[in-house]
Amino acid sequence: MNRELIFFEFYFIEFYVDLNPRIQAKIDKVLYIISNTPQIPEKFFKYLTGTDALYEIRIEYAGNIYRIFSFFDKGNLIILLNGIQKKIAENTT
């Protein structure tokens, strides 16, 4: 199973390039799973109820949660819209 991932305009790229390289690597890993796994685990890719066709890609790293909003187009095409940092881990020092 190969799904094609494309970016809508420049919104996701602007989000991505500002992230720490370790977070970028985690995002890359999750995007690889999504594009190459026949049955995507819901912990990574979930339909957002109350929307017409919006999905979220969820990435957890070091206590932080990142979300990338996306939708399907033509079955095997996933369009990445934008990303946010949903949860910021509290410093425990």
Which pLDDT band, with edges at 50, 70 and 90, does 91 fall under? low
Question: Does a structural domain hold residue 69?
Answer: yes
Identify whether the C-beta of residue 13 lies closer than 8 Å to the C-beta of residue 7.
yes
Number of domains in the chain: 1
Question: Does a structural domain hold residue 43?
Answer: yes
Provide the whole-model pTM: 0.87
Per residue, the 3-state secondary structure of 9-54, as one string, reads CCHHHHHHHCCCHHHHHHHHHHHHHHHHCCCCCCCCEEECCCCCCC
Identify whether the C-beta of residue 59 lies closer than 8 Å to the C-beta of residue 68.
yes
Question: Does a structural domain hold residue 57?
Answer: yes
Domain that holds residue 70: 4-87
Question: Does a structural domain hold residue 68?
Answer: yes
pLDDT in tens, 1-21: 789 999 999 999 999 999 999
Asked if residue 89 has pLDDT above 80, the reply is: no
**Beta-strand pair 77-87/55-61:** unpaired
Average pLDDT of the chain to the nearest whole number: 91
Identify whether the C-beta of residue 5 lies closer than 8 Å to the C-beta of residue 73.
no
pLDDT in tens, 21-41: 999 999 999 999 999 999 889
